[in-house]
Amino acid sequence: MTSYSQLNTSQRILMGPGPSDAHPRVLQAMATPLIGHLDPEFVEIMDEVKSMVQQTFQTENYLTFVVSAPGSAGMETCLVNLLEPGDEALICIHGVFGGRMAEIADRCGAKVIKVEAPWGEPIDPEQVRLALETCTPKIVAIVHAETSTGVLQPLEEIGRMAHDAGALFMVDAVTSYCGVPLKVDEWGIDAIYSGTQKCLSAPPGLSPVSFSDRAVKALENRKTKVQSWFLDLSLVKNYWGGAKRAYHHTAPVSAVFALREALRIVLEEGLENRFIRHRENHELLATKLAGLGMEFLVDPDYRLPNLNAVRIPEGVDDALVRNRLLNDYNIEIGGGLGKFAGKVWRIGLMGESSTPNHVNMLVSALEEIIDPNLIHNGKASSVSTYG
């Protein structure tokens, strides 16, 4: 029989697209002894988590809860519950995750109308307006913070257009939640989902979601069954609310403990203070990278402060630099996705990973790995002058 050693992972500094570093309090919460998922104490914890998710989403939506699966399941929860075969869905695509929404909508049997922008740029509201003149969609869906490109998408104007057209407005907030302003009720967002492993700095594996009263009405008026049993909100909603909890599945108890503590930390800091911290650390990173002659992919007006897409200087070996960062400095950053593979680095400054110390550690490491003089001359080398 094979013998396996005790688990002993490296102590990484997480500055990629997720997960981010977790606060020691969150890790401690995960080690809390297990209780049953229908234990009255756990039901009370679920109520507290729901309340804190409402506060951090800035919503009073009753149907607010946490999907027992990662952010992609939150995406699928919104789409499979709101769309039926034959519905029209207008999907805005300016990166990988808008494309993923379109794929799921297509699998729901919806007719997908795509509004696309070049990667690294936001969706132009005028394109949405023109598209709405040609269709009558049930939903208009868009990514708030496109993790693949570092674009922060303005939402309010497109949300108003969706409502004027009689559509529900759906938003992917996986990378924006608890890192930049996000006002579900004020901005008229009808369905929203996020993840726990980015600016919230909890372990991956859960997805906070929220549905407006308009969205709930659409759920109640469905003519067909939701294609997913596990994600069917007509069943799940009775597990997360109501006078009597109805068993649906066994919740990931330890992950919920960790999420509760992460949400407590967010509220202790205060949302506005947290947004300012992410912005200030982004600006520090931008200043220091400019000093190294490095450029951002996204125009300053649309840059996502918590996920920074930086162009890899000409002549620099993407994999070599990221491997050296990981192996020699224990720093993780992300490579590009899709058409940006090998062309950009994605540097996360999310949650507990958004500190001046993180910025300084990364920049110091890059200075040792890459000769900055060669970057300024327009051709970089990833062979360190420090050996």
Look at residue 237 in the predicted model and tell me its pLDDT: 85
pLDDT band at 387 (very low <50, low <70, confident <90, very high): very low
Q: What is the mean pLDDT of residues 14-34?
A: 98
Domain chopping of the chain, boundaries: 24-267, 271-376
pLDDT beyond 90 at 342: yes
Residue 332 bridge partners (DSSP): 14
pLDDT of residue 242: 64
Instruction: Say how many C-beta atoms besides its own lie within 10 A of residue 387's C-beta.
Output: 5
Is the confidence at residue 128, as pLDDT, over 60? yes
pTM for this entry: 0.94
Bond into 181 cis (ω within 30): no
CB burial of residue 231 (10 Å; 0-12, 13-18, 19+): buried
Q: What is the mean pLDDT of residues 150-169?
A: 98
Which structure tokens are listed for 238?
A: 């009775």
Per-residue pLDDT tens over the stretch 182-210: 999 999 999 999 999 999 999 999 999 99
Q: Considering the domain delimited by 271-376, tell me its CATH architecture.
A: Alpha-Beta Complex (3.90)
Q: Is the pLDDT of residue 253 over 50?
A: yes
pLDDT tens for 76-120 read 999 999 999 999 999 999 999 999 999 999 999 999 999 999 999
Query: In the chain, pLDDT over 70 holds for what percent of residues?
Result: 95
Burial class (CB in 10 A: 0-12, 13-18, 19+), 114: middle
Q: Which tokens in the block code for residue 29? A: 């919460």
Paired strand residues for 93: 116
Residues 24-267, CATH architecture: 3-Layer(aba) Sandwich (3.40)
* Cα dihedral sign, 35-38-41-47: positive
pLDDT of residue 247: 86
